[in-house]
Structure 1
């Protein structure tokens, strides 16, 4: 008999949930406190109350064996001697509006637990109690119903019978999928050199999974040269492992939309190579981009009275899901949008619901790693998931940003101003919080007095404080790690600051709930989210963090900076069976294992599959691009770029460490060689601007084009200009991050941790940018191109030791004349 595993809550909510999506403010943090409230009520129940009782049972319906699992909030014997299942729910529904029929899912969940427990314990009768906790008033309201075992069992069977067609649909699909994946063939005639080795590493990691001594799952780091075909080399073996029962679902996680498209293309190629392939894949798109009915400002308005796709969503989602599941199995953003329009459902929520029925889920890193937006339906508990982390060199910085938070004192000032005249508890709370921040700003300014002009681009804010300075209390600033020009860094988080912000939570929440139509609602909601971010970061704050306070004029900025995301990334990856993290640049592996919490992970580096003679690699070590020498270096850099561009007619890119330096060299180059066409990367390009820039790099160009771009930017990685669309690039500088107090805090932290502070904060991230940019040139075995390195540090042992093996033939040249000769020899060959 076919069998299926089914969480009890999933069963009842899928069948019985009705109504609309409604994102109006309803106490987000209170909802998140549900677990805490549960524990409080369970503890108050006293002895004899069994809390969080795990229940599991086997049931059969319509020829399907169901394994049901869940946790009852409480089980106890009531005053009449009847065993009672307690189902606890927190709610913001006004106390007087809470009724027995508030939500049928609540009774259904309790009744299923009761059916299982009565059967296991041989009880002929049982009670189910709904305990509602009204979070605004701290009031309790309880409803109790009596059931016989026969009634409970009959109800459970009705649910399973109702769910059986969906279960049978999934079981049939699982058989088809397993058979398809077992027969899956590599979609190319042969592997590229190195592809088979990469595929083998991923396959073995997926097969190994978890063990008694490796509860976090198997992890492997794979460094594979750009152009080897990493996406297919990772996706194909993971799917083969799934076909053998090793993994229930595959998550392909990326840092950029371009790599999401590469994953979609790889799945499409597998389908084309094997017609009839049973494989469902969905690409999750951010709500802002997926929304079909944004408000006037372009933001999603998820309210039933405003959005027709939110109104009645849960009444129509099963029809939409059925239509999709009976379709092609490829669910892109466009496919979800089409179905959403057809059934009048939200495409974003539809994608999330559909992901539970899909085999491959493609999306951004934040769906796994971000503590706020990760997919709770999958990752709040461990599962048999396979993780493929593409371009994993981006994960350290992305993870640091996810676990950091910031808050500006001016948010308090502006919120009070938005409330207008009159008194309120919220105004009082804002005033008290601003008083603490004012004192902290004064202490910060005193500890780090400004000694000169403001840095370029920074201006004094014009807002004023809520309170005059003389009313501000004393503020004890811990001993700073750094104090200069209005900025201090602290190892400790001053407890007074998060405490002051927490005191605003409740009155702000009450105001938001009571004034949904107030013109200031959107602004105060933003304040609420900022308070939430700080509160979460403060709760996580430990030795992996540092506090930054910056005083400018009347402003005080509070930053809780995560320096080391390793424990948080480790915990996220532990939710799955295995993880393969791959990129062209994971050197040195010890660095990435350390900063990503994968100390025992296997790390492999695959050789380049391309003939070394196809890459001309040259360096002019007579040029220094250090910050203090940049202005003097401009003529020499411009000369070198001209020599590169004149070596052969074609398309070239030059990568710079900053926009300012790029502009300096560009102006000098354009003035001296106006006959060479140029293209300059502009600030903040959107997708259309990026596409327009790349479209200029045409195949078989009639004249030379030299593009100027920023290292580590949108053109430094994820760009695939194959063949003669790009035949050369120049790397100007070693890519070191800008020296600033934050980067120095990172350096200090890792110096204490491993004695490698400069490497971790500067050298390794810099070389990562260099290698990524250089990887834009040779993309296939037939490509031929040039990489020119401009900086004396490329000749120093500490930098040269990070070169990949296929760079061993690098030529260090004395000047531009020698470069011209070398280029002629390379192209003539």
Structure 2
């Protein structure tokens, strides 16, 4: 039968039985999870004839659909009285709060396994047992029921009756998507130079289940060149799902536009954009509890209908569309978008939903991953982002605060012990600001685990205290520490930072290559692409590249004549910066007055930028000037960019920082931008972490200085310089302020179209 629906037991019963409200962030991740430790502990006590982790599968026809239901039961117990399915759940709460009828979804899950086994073995009846395990006390509480085969079969049909409308929609849409993807033509009249080569490389990568690292210059249309072949792979049955991952809102919008373009050419695809919770939340408090938010209250009672409604009526589920339907169905827009991510064909989102162990989409099953491609845009950003995702730190301050707030409780005791440990660490540093540790102290890790248990119990019991949020923040920080400890190896280092009475300890990920590789390896294929994935060997090293991975470097479609590149060989090194201020100001004025237009000057730091800005304004050049501020709102960013108009009579000079919000993902075509000034070579500021990276790679036979400083720095330069030439008709000036551009090392890292520069 063509209309086959393959579904695992857990998502099936959760779809039908979920109900109630969104709880706090704590409860959503800790309440009655499947804890593998609890499973293993209880399964060890099984009798010799009992089995654990038993795979079961059955097929059933309902409403002209063939359902293939499968899953793995925790235990299959054999006794003289017959067979029993054992379903294990662990909890941090009191077992006294759990009755036989507290969690119908758990009975539903166990009854599915019981039905599959009775049918497989042609049994007339079977026992179903729920075993609840209290993680701290290790006590258990068991409930057992007996069901006839007919009761179990009737139950399964009741499940399918509720699930079938959604399943039928899925099947019909899958057919429409595949047909429309197969027939889809490239949405432009012709390929730009380099687009066909990139699209071909992406398609080959997907079909052959490989990884691709692609350098493709700004302006060739990387987004459509990666999405189009992925869609064609869906049409040919080689793929089912696309994740388009990026670090910036502007590039997410470009991906939305690409899907819109293909939809206008007949593609029937469901794409969803995930917007960060703090941006899309409807309430000011941003608290996910039924007491504080009407969109959280009863969320799970309404979510299935909300999902089916939007999927049946919309193709592009952007932030605005999700907000409209969320208000219609009274559901939390952020959690709504996560639900849609599991149901959609394409997901546009930040890197962290795949790579960050704290927030990744946990319900993506391996079977789905095997049919999914990761398209990682601006992949040069993933290096430092991955370091952040897989590092963890804890502060003395948070535990000292908990001592004050939670007197006469277990939290007080565990927080006190951790605070005492921090005091000992401070004494060990002997007045130094930083101290690198040989390893993470096992005593400290044990204290953190004990704190997690005590905090979990306090939070689970819901005791209202003044410091509820402080405890929640500390709990999640400790949980993150506990998670990263398990990954800690030779690619990490731990260090202590002391600032007066404050003490911070951090596990810092020096080399993110292994964790990035592990996070992506379950997916069918991975495509890492950027305009500045250069030098390529550096990014292969940092992002877990293997010898058999594919690489492609697309030449620029733009001519050298479009860019007038100049080098002003002065020193912008830290010790020489004050002396560089006036020459930079004089050069700016000379260039802009000789070639009026819109310009941006990028600096390696706010301090340097502000100093030159101060000198520039004191010179009273009469040229309108704007400056980037730290922590600009979306409105302020938009207002900054809107100043760049192609038809304005006066020139404009904008001051901005390298690696900031205006140096990437900004598209100022034509005369909206006539020139870019780049001050320095972009080297990151010298600091403890950069020095640790340098030392680590030097010890491992690499050029540690280049890896820690030079390559990341030049990447920022190339990104900022890439704001200038966006189309075949753009022209303009790039001026590089630094004498190091005359050195062979730096000249080698320049794009070909920059290398024929003239000295200013």
Indicate whether the TM-score tops 0.5: yes
Change (3 A) 1:394 1:400: same
1:728 is displaced (CA, Å) by 0.4
Q: Quick one: distance in 2 between partners of 1:769 and 1:339?
A: 39
Q: Quick one: distance in 2 between partners of 1:112 and 1:682?
A: 58
1:138 is displaced (CA, Å) by 2.9
Which position in structure 1 is the counterpart of 2:218?
226
Q: Quick one: distance in 2 between partners of 1:8 and 1:750?
A: 47
Matched, 1:604 2:552: yes
Matched, 1:363 2:362: no
Partner deviation per Cα, 1:606-642 (whole Å, 9 max, x = no partner)? 1111122111111122x11111111111222222222
Matched, 1:149 2:140: no
Aligned-pair Cα RMSD in Å: 1.8
Change (3 A) 1:432 1:92: closer
Which position in structure 2 is the counterpart of 1:179?
179
Matched, 1:435 2:427: no
Contact 1:76/1:85, CA 8 A, preserved across alignment: yes
Which position in structure 2 is the counterpart of 1:772?
719
Which position in structure 2 is the counterpart of 1:423?
408
Aligned partner of residue 503 in structure 1, secondary structure: helix
| Larger CA deviation: 128-137 vs 35-44 | 128-137
Which position in structure 2 is the counterpart of 1:816?
none
Which position in structure 2 is the counterpart of 1:158?
158
Q: Quick one: distance in 1 between partners of 2:275 and 2:476?
A: 21
Partner deviation per Cα, 1:548-567 (whole Å, 9 max, x = no partner)? 20122222111111111111
Aligned partner of residue 363 in structure 2, secondary structure: helix
Q: Quick one: distance in 2 between partners of 1:239 and 1:488?
A: 51
1:426 is displaced (CA, Å) by 2.4
Which position in structure 1 is the counterpart of 2:300?
314
After TM superposition, the structure 1 = structure 2 runs for residues 210-609 of structure 1, keeping only pairs within 5 Å, are 218-274=210-266, 277-295=267-285, 300-378=286-364, 382-419=369-406, 423-444=408-429, 446=430, 449=431, 485-600=432-547, 601-609=549-557
Aligned partner of residue 635 in structure 2, secondary structure: helix
Contact 2:30/2:92, CA 8 A, preserved across alignment: no
Q: Quick one: distance in 2 between partners of 1:33 and 1:153?
A: 26
Q: Quick one: distance in 1 between partners of 2:93 and 2:402?
A: 26
1:689 is displaced (CA, Å) by 1.2
Q: Quick one: distance in 2 between partners of 1:585 and 1:330?
A: 29
1:499 is displaced (CA, Å) by 2.5
Q: Quick one: distance in 2 between partners of 1:635 and 1:332?
A: 47
Partner deviation per Cα, 1:218-271 (whole Å, 9 max, x = no partner)? 110111111111111111111111111111110111111111111111111222
1:12 is displaced (CA, Å) by 1.0
Aligned partner of residue 647 in structure 2, secondary structure: coil
Aligned partner of residue 245 in structure 2, secondary structure: strand
1:413 is displaced (CA, Å) by 1.2
Partner deviation per Cα, 1:156-202 (whole Å, 9 max, x = no partner)? 23322332222111111111111111111211111111111111111
Which position in structure 2 is the counterpart of 1:454?
none
Q: Quick one: distance in 2 between partners of 1:593 and 1:655?
A: 28
1:398 is displaced (CA, Å) by 0.3
1:434 is displaced (CA, Å) by 1.5
Change (3 A) 1:31 1:103: closer
Contact 1:649/1:701, CA 8 A, preserved across alignment: no
Aligned partner of residue 787 in structure 1, secondary structure: strand
1:320 is displaced (CA, Å) by 1.2
Change (3 A) 1:742 1:524: same
Q: Quick one: distance in 2 between partners of 1:23 and 1:347?
A: 16
1:25 is displaced (CA, Å) by 4.1
Aligned partner of residue 296 in structure 2, secondary structure: coil
Q: Quick one: distance in 2 between partners of 1:24 and 1:234?
A: 35
Q: Quick one: distance in 1 between partners of 2:28 and 2:296?
A: 19
Partner deviation per Cα, 1:492-533 (whole Å, 9 max, x = no partner)? 122233233333222222333335422211112111112112
Q: Quick one: distance in 2 between partners of 1:162 and 1:664?
A: 66
Q: Quick one: distance in 2 between partners of 1:97 and 1:425?
A: 21
Contact 1:433/1:503, CA 8 A, preserved across alignment: no
Contact 2:92/2:457, CA 8 A, preserved across alignment: no
Partner deviation per Cα, 1:568-587 (whole Å, 9 max, x = no partner)? 11111112111111110011
Aligned partner of residue 669 in structure 1, secondary structure: helix
Change (3 A) 1:41 1:367: same
1:24 is displaced (CA, Å) by 6.4
Matched, 1:616 2:564: yes
Q: Quick one: distance in 2 between partners of 1:25 and 1:241?
A: 40
Partner deviation per Cα, 1:21-43 (whole Å, 9 max, x = no partner)? 11264495575671111111111
1:359 is displaced (CA, Å) by 0.6
1:675 is displaced (CA, Å) by 1.8
Q: Quick one: distance in 1 between partners of 2:166 and 2:499?
A: 60
Contact 2:34/2:89, CA 8 A, preserved across alignment: no
TM-score normalised by length of structure 1: 0.89
Contact 2:93/2:461, CA 8 A, preserved across alignment: no
Aligned partner of residue 356 in structure 1, secondary structure: helix
Aligned partner of residue 129 in structure 2, secondary structure: strand
Contact 1:385/1:575, CA 8 A, preserved across alignment: no
Which position in structure 2 is the counterpart of 1:130?
130
Partner deviation per Cα, 1:296-326 (whole Å, 9 max, x = no partner)? xxxx222223322112112111221221122
Which position in structure 1 is the counterpart of 2:595?
648
TM-score normalised by length of structure 2: 0.97
Which position in structure 2 is the counterpart of 1:474?
none
Aligned partner of residue 304 in structure 2, secondary structure: helix
Aligned partner of residue 326 in structure 1, secondary structure: helix
Which position in structure 2 is the counterpart of 1:73?
74
Change (3 A) 1:800 1:552: same
Contact 2:22/2:28, CA 8 A, preserved across alignment: no
1:15 is displaced (CA, Å) by 1.1
Partner deviation per Cα, 1:376-407 (whole Å, 9 max, x = no partner)? 11166743111110100000000000011111
Contact 1:293/1:307, CA 8 A, preserved across alignment: yes
Which position in structure 2 is the counterpart of 1:465?
none
Uncovered stretches (5+) of structure 2, i.e. residues with no partner? none
Which position in structure 2 is the counterpart of 1:41?
42
Which position in structure 2 is the counterpart of 1:702?
649
Aligned partner of residue 59 in structure 1, secondary structure: strand
Contact 2:33/2:89, CA 8 A, preserved across alignment: no
Contact 1:437/1:497, CA 8 A, preserved across alignment: no
Aligned partner of residue 193 in structure 2, secondary structure: coil
Q: Quick one: distance in 1 between partners of 2:248 and 2:749?
A: 25
Q: Quick one: distance in 1 between partners of 2:490 and 2:588?
A: 46
Aligned partner of residue 378 in structure 1, secondary structure: coil
Q: Quick one: distance in 1 between partners of 2:455 and 2:94?
A: 18
Partner deviation per Cα, 1:746-804 (whole Å, 9 max, x = no partner)? 00111122422111111110110110010000100011111111111111111111122
Change (3 A) 1:111 1:559: same
Partner deviation per Cα, 1:22-69 (whole Å, 9 max, x = no partner)? 126449557567111111111122422211111222222222112212
| Larger CA deviation: 32-41 vs 648-657 | 32-41
Uncovered stretches (5+) of structure 1, i.e. residues with no partner? 210-217, 450-484, 814-818, 820-829
Aligned partner of residue 76 in structure 1, secondary structure: strand
